[in-house]
Homo-oligomer: A and B are copies of this chain.
Amino acid sequence: MSVTDELLENNKRFAESFSVRAGAPKGPRVAVVACMDARLDPARALGLESGDAHVIRNAGGVITEDVVRSLVVSQRLLGTEEIVLVHHTDCGMLRFRDDPVKDEIESETGLRPPFALEAFTDVDGDVRQSIARIRANPFIPERDAVRGFVYDVETGRLREVR
């Protein structure tokens, strides 16, 4: 049985006890941008209920053009006004550099990825870089209410990066 099949079995059990929250939910007011890491569950770590937040995730939780696209949709079309960034300790993005991986991909496939892998060497520094990318982006309407955090995978605690 594949992992995917196991997840489908889990979904059957989930759906059996599923209920839509009563009443018309107000739209979410916050967008969370977090790393894809398997130890980080933004909904549990931030106490999110259904309807509370858009959750955008990628490798590193870095601000890329696709995250800008998602934030444009989140703010302009769906009305969120705050942004919460969540990086975390022991991130996989700290354990490689772009160039050697791109060299390896090029030697295996004959094609060099035309995009950055966005590895970083300092998690606090990358949170600050992410905040700076949002503040500098002309397409994101609400870019003042952005705050960045590092989630400690050993304690579950968020630490704000200032």
Contacts and interface: CB of A to CB of B under 8 A. Distances in A.
A113 B72 contact: yes
A11 B158 contact: yes
A23 interface: no
Q: Tell me the interface secondary structure of chain A in the complex.
A: mixed
Interface string A53-75: 11111111000111111101110
Contact of A84 (B4, B50, B77, B155): B4
Given A58-B56, A77-B96, A92-B77, A155 B44 contact: no
A1 B61 CA distance: 25
B84 A7 contact: yes
A118 B4 CA distance: 26
A162 interface: no
B15 A156 contact: yes
Interface of A: 2-4, 7-15, 18, 20, 25, 27-31, 36-39, 41, 43-48, 50-60, 64-70, 72-74, 76-78, 82, 84, 92-93, 95-96, 101, 105, 109, 111, 113, 115-118, 138-139, 145, 147, 153-158, 160
